[in-house]
Amino acid sequence: MKNQALLLICFLFLIPAGVSAQNKDLDYYIQKAKTNSPLLYELGNKVKITELDSLKTRATYNPMVSAVSNVIFSPTYKGFGYDTAISNGQNVEALLTVSKQLISQQNLKKRLDNYKLDKKSIENQARLSTDIVEKTVTEQYITTFLNQQLLHLSNEIISFLQNEDKILRKLAKNSNIKQTDYLNFKVTLQQTLFNNEQQRSLWMNNLSTLNYLSGIDNGGMDSIITPAINLPAVVSYEESFYGRNNAIDSLKNKNNEQLINLNYKPQISVFANGGYSSSFMTSPYKNLGVSMGVSINLPLYDGKQKKMSLMQNELNDQNRKRYRDADKQHYTLQKQELLRQIERCDKLTSMTPEQFKYTKALVDANALLLGTGEVSMTDFLLSITNYMNIRTIDIQNRANKQLLINQLNHLILP
């Protein structure tokens, strides 16, 4: 029984360790960043606030009920005081009033449409903010993964050099190679070890930055896996965030124009009240009653405010069109340039396997011939340098392609 309890405790301790040691992917960091973003949380609430504003506007045109009670006493002394013909000396009111502003269905629809467009605009802004978060986190993830790959390459080269060091030490001890050649090799090994520590420090710093951008409080140095970033189906400007946003702004300007015109239509309100209103002058018990009425507001002259409001709306629409044309041009040019750069990366990637094959074969051959004196230490070290350079270029080129695809996935205009 004790052994079973001990095994259970060990198992419970091992579970968190195993989970924390798991490598994390790009989606993990993006989801954390979006969850922890206060801006995305605020925009989500703004959508709900706009929906509530729409409901409030609709409620404004429903019947409004209010209760009013007034008790007024206006004393007079030796003829001094309010004129009793006006004040009645005293007055008591307790009324229940119902009022309603009459509005056409078209007028109400246009006002509610304005909130719908505001909601779409906020949702579009949230989409842009989400794209910025995803783009920023993905860029940092790719940079961190690049450092991780370069660190793995550095570890691979160090492992190879350390194995060669055991062989060369024996050759130098037996005078098969010069001591100066061996020292030259040791200098290269030490320099590689130093560069490895620099690369490790850079990787740790970038991983910490990735955790920071994602809002993750994690002191561990977990490895990350290869990011899955695919070339998107490139959309036109009209289908992009900017095209959709421009379409919403266009509809808002048209709706504002119609609202301006509707504001100058006659406004009619009806009301009715009932209750008790008395001055207690005569027969106060008979002063229970009701009243009703109609209020009409017909704008006749406003100092040309309507004309100026329509002009302002037209100027805003002209600004929108100018920004639309500029954004469309920038979007198209940026998209074309990114596709060209991705194509160049693919061309470079297709050339590296052949170069890698020959440089690796040269390193292996030089390692075998070094002990026989047929290859100099300089040539041997040069072949290793060439091998590292080809591998480094390949890793950087693949990372650069991922960064370009990320820009294309989240094409953000300046």
pLDDT band at 360 (very low <50, low <70, confident <90, very high): very high
pLDDT at 265: 85
Residue 386 predicted with pLDDT over 70: yes
C-alpha closest to that of 293 among 271, 274, 311: 271
- For the residues of 217-244, what is the DSSP string, one character each? ---S---BPPP------PPPTTTSHHHH
Condensed to tens digits (0 to 9), the pLDDT of residues 14-40 reads 334 333 445 789 999 999 999 999 999
Give buried/exposed letters for 376-405 (b at 16+ CB in 10 A, else e): bbeebbebbebbbebbebbbebbbbbbbbb
Kindly report the pTM of this predicted structure: 0.83
Q: State the Cα–Cα distance between residues 395 and 389, nearest whole angstrom.
A: 10
Condensed to tens digits (0 to 9), the pLDDT of residues 150-181 reads 999 999 999 999 999 998 888 888 888 888 98
On the CB side of 255, CA atoms within 13 Å amount to 19
Q: What is the CATH number of domain 23-61+103-264+302-409?
A: 1.20.1600.10
pLDDT band at 404 (very low <50, low <70, confident <90, very high): very high
Condensed to tens digits (0 to 9), the pLDDT of residues 101-158 reads 887 788 888 889 999 999 999 999 999 999 999 999 999 999 999 999 999 999 999 9
* Cβ count near 288 (within 10 Å): 12
pLDDT at 273: 85
Q: State the Cα–Cα distance between residues 248 and 242, nearest whole angstrom.
A: 10
pLDDT at 358: 92
Q: Estimate the crossing angle of helix 241-262 against helix 105-173, to 10 degrees.
A: 160
C-alpha closest to that of 136 among 244, 276, 22, 37: 37
pLDDT band at 219 (very low <50, low <70, confident <90, very high): low
Containing 294, the helix (H) or strand (E) segment is strand 288-297
Greatest alpha-carbon pair distance for the chain in Å reads: 137
Task: State phi, psi for 223 to the nearest 5 degrees.
Answer: -75, 155
C-alpha closest to that of 65 among 277, 337, 280, 273: 273
pLDDT at 68: 84
pLDDT at 83: 62
**Average of pLDDT values for 63-69?**
87
pLDDT band at 237 (very low <50, low <70, confident <90, very high): very high
Condensed to tens digits (0 to 9), the pLDDT of residues 271-289 reads 888 888 877 767 777 778 8
Q: State the Cα–Cα distance between residues 16 and 18, nearest whole angstrom.
A: 5
